[in-house]
Amino acid sequence: METVAQAPKYNLNDEQEKKLILREYRALLKGLRSRIKPGDRKIIRQAFEMAAEAHKSMRRKSGEPYILHPLAVARICVEEIGLGVRSSICALLHDTVEDTDITLEDVQREFGNEIAKIVDGLTKISTVVDVNASQQAENFRKILLTLTDDPRVIIIKLADRLHNMRTMDSMKLEKQLKISSETVYVYAPLAHRMGLYNIKTEMEDLAMKYLEPDTYKDIARKLAETKRERTRFINEFIKPLKEKLETGEFNFDIYGRPKSIHSIWDKMKKKGVAFEEVYDLFAIRIILDSAPEKEKEDCWKVYSMITDEYSPSPERLRDWLSNPKSNGYEALHTTVMGPMGKWVEVQIRTKRMNEIAEKGLAAHWKYKEGGSDESRFDKWFGQIREVLTSQDTDSVDFLQDFKMSFLAEEIYIYTPKGDVKMLPVGATALDFAFSVHSEVGSKCIGAKVNHKLVPISHKLRSGDQVEIITSNKQKASEDWLNFVVTAKARTKIKDALKEEKRTVAEEGKYTLQRKLEGMGAAVNQHNIDEVTNFYKLASPLELYYQVSVKNIDLKELKEFKVTGDRLDAPKPVRVIEVKPEYHPGLQKKDAELIIFGESSDKIVYNLANCCKPIPGDDVFGFVTTGKGLTIHRTNCPNAAKLMANYGHRIVKTKWAKNKEISFLTGLKIIGMDDVGIVNKITNLISGELRINIAAITIEAKEGLFEGTIKLFVHDKEELEELVQDLKDLPGIHSVDRFDTEAAG
């Protein structure tokens, strides 16, 4: 789905446009050539004509004819994912029911039930859901409900999203940020889970291009600069392996491929290292042409050849041959010490495994005869179906749970009888208990992991054998939610707690009814909602509960107005304007953040504590209830979640130039411990650059020091200049800005 601009600002004439559209259509047919059965061409043509006619007056933001979007999505499905004729038809029609006069009945009449069902899955909810919940999360839930009937829905949805990411240049910045965040937050993990690694990688890279443009360009530039020496190193590394494989008479392909920009950036952040220190900028891939019955044996033979040549890092062996991931990924990964003391990751797989790794689910159907992997997917869909059908209304929570439960990497756990259960990384004994059965979960008091007694909060590791201990006296408690990660466990615990809450809440309901009757107000939905909203609670149940447990004594009710039997809450007091911090030593002027968006008059705002933005940072505003606008950096740890879940509350924000006011920020410095180092640092900051220091702490141990400095700067340029000057001091190893609340 795409925002549509009606004005044709495309400068091709009609003839050229027709040619362009036909060229795309022919390319789609060419991709399908090997799969077209008699009669298929006619149906594809029919779908193409129906879509072209329906979208004929529409144009994309870039001005090109809209029909090029569904055509491109269909081509991605065919060429990059390996889907066939029916999926192409659905891709061509995926926006028609939502955006044009065509109805689902039309699609059903022309193309039958199966296609209509998939197109329905692709047509998002058009009615706006509750404003507080995110519409995106709600759409997502709808998509997933259909996914469990037919996985092609989600695959076409991913192709649609990928094409939108590839062609987002002519959109407004806030739209780019929202769509990119959503992509990283939901769609890339989903692509990973469906086994579509290439698509996942491209989505993450494209999102990073919009969310962190500077870092993206910087890494891309460095990758380009180091390409020649990398190629030289790869060739040197591969040479002896090639000889060994040829001697062993294997049919094989061997090549080096660079890691994606996003995954390099991830490594830099996780390990806290510079680009130059990321050792695995590339992976070597060996793809064998093996007979099905010899696949595993051949992969291990090749592993043995590699480790004869280079010594392996024992803890970096990943064996997904014996235990494939539940998205079907099979391979052997090892990290070895190559020439010049560089670690190199080597991935060994066969042609069949490679196709599954690149085409995911679609390749599975091709190799369906095997049966066993199929059931892994079915299990996964089964679990999703179970969670989706349970009536939990908070879609944002649902999205978070879904991410944790279904998009995480997995571990496998054995039952006492030796059956395998797949659980997400981070799962605890309690998660396992709920995965066995919800009754077992709610009565669980402990577990034996590998025959040792552990508490229910114990985190499991792959390969553990777990026996659950239950008691009929046990019941779920609130703190259980802190240590479960699977959606099933969370849902069941919440259900049990709700039941308990209902019982307690009865008392509060009775109290409130007496109070309302005493005031002469009716006990009706409007009045109860009025009181619930006044106390800023999520639901009447929550209100009754809070009254029951005496957290609310209802004395504010006397400020309510009663007209007839109708209650009206008193109006809330207006929020006072929040100023960012300023330093008393500087002249106090109104620090005004100019907001280019809905209105540019003075606006209540404050700076987010999680990322401490300063002028010059790329920022966005987030409308919070009761607090006005909170300003976050676009690369803030919470940004993706906020933008993906509450896109409608994002405001485009820019800094006004203002030199009179300073902002608090923090730096972390690491270097060699040296007698005068503190002096050098403070001299540079306060003396030469005249920047006010708010606090400084330095800890030295074993010849290294680690310092944190909080200081007041006017804007990002000043901060960057300071960071550079500090790095130039002798003995300083790294200087990084805080991304966390440490600066607060």
pLDDT digits (tens, 9 = 90+) for 331-367: 999 999 988 888 889 999 999 888 887 776 556 555 5
Question: Which of 656, 639, 657, 659 is closest to 595 using CA atoms?
Answer: 656
- 572, pLDDT greater than 60: no
Structure tokens at 116: 């209509």
Domains of the chain: 4-218 (1.10.3210.10), 219-366 (3.30.460.10), 495-568 (no CATH), 573-654 (no CATH), 663-743 (3.30.70.260)
150 catalytic residue (yes or no): no
Other C-beta atoms lying within 10 Å of the C-beta of residue 474? 15
* Biggest CA-to-CA distance, the chain: 95
DSSP of 221-262? HHHHHTHHHHHHHHHHHHHHHHHHHHHTT--EEEEEEEPPHH
Cα–Cα distance, 167 to 148 (Å, whole number): 29
Pairing of strands 605-607, 628-633: parallel
Cα–Cα distance, 10 to 65 (Å, whole number): 8
The end-to-end CA distance of the chain, in Å, is 41
Helix axes 227-247, 213-225, angle to 10 degrees: 60
Cβ contacts of residue 306 below 8 Å, gap of 6+?
241, 312, 334, 336, 346, 348
Structure tokens at 698: 């330095």
Cα–Cα distance, 466 to 432 (Å, whole number): 8
Cα–Cα distance, 115 to 700 (Å, whole number): 67
- 306, pLDDT greater than 80: yes
Report angle CA 547, 542, 397 to the nearest 5 degrees.
Answer: 155
CA separation, residue 701 to residues 18, 411, 526, 674, 705 (Å): 71, 38, 64, 11, 6
State which H helix or E strand residue 411 sits in: strand 410-414
Per residue in 404-444, pLDDT (tens digit) is: 656 667 777 888 888 878 888 889 999 999 988 888 998 89
pLDDT bin (cut points 50, 70, 90) of residue 460 is very high
pTM above 0.85, yes or no: no
For residue 15, how many C-alpha atoms fall within 13 Å in the half-sphere facing its CB?
A: 0
DSSP of 191-210? HHHTT-HHHHHHHHHHHHHH
Query: What's the mean per-residue pLDDT of the chain?
Result: 79
Choose the catalytic residue: 17, 24, 40, 98: 98
202 with 184: CB under 8 angstroms?
no
Cα–Cα distance, 55 to 53 (Å, whole number): 6
Give percent above pLDDT 70 in the chain.
80
- The beta strand positions in 36-166, using DSSP E, are 59-60
Choose the catalytic residue: 17, 40, 99, 397: 99
- The beta strand positions in 532-618, using DSSP E, are 561-563, 566-568, 605-607
For range 497-523, the mean pLDDT: 84
In the block, residue with structure tokens 């090749």: 302
502 with 541: CB under 8 angstroms?
yes
CA separation, residue 306 to residues 237, 286, 660 (Å): 10, 11, 63
Per residue in 202-254, pLDDT (tens digit) is: 999 999 999 999 999 999 999 888 889 888 999 999 999 999 999 988 999 99
Residue 616: per-residue pLDDT:
76
Cα–Cα distance, 406 to 396 (Å, whole number): 15
For residue 89, how many C-alpha atoms fall within 13 Å in the half-sphere facing its CB?
A: 22
99 catalytic residue (yes or no): yes
Cβ contacts of residue 176 below 8 Å, gap of 6+?
168, 210
424 with 463: CB under 8 angstroms?
no
Per residue in 171-201, pLDDT (tens digit) is: 888 888 888 888 887 788 888 877 788 899 9
State which H helix or E strand residue 457 sits in: none
Cα–Cα distance, 213 to 226 (Å, whole number): 20
In the block, residue with structure tokens 């004819």: 65
Residue 589: per-residue pLDDT:
37
Cα–Cα distance, 657 to 663 (Å, whole number): 13
Structure tokens at 301: 């033979």
Pairing of strands 343-350, 282-288: parallel
Structure tokens at 282: 């590339």
Residue 657: per-residue pLDDT:
60
Other C-beta atoms lying within 10 Å of the C-beta of residue 726? 21
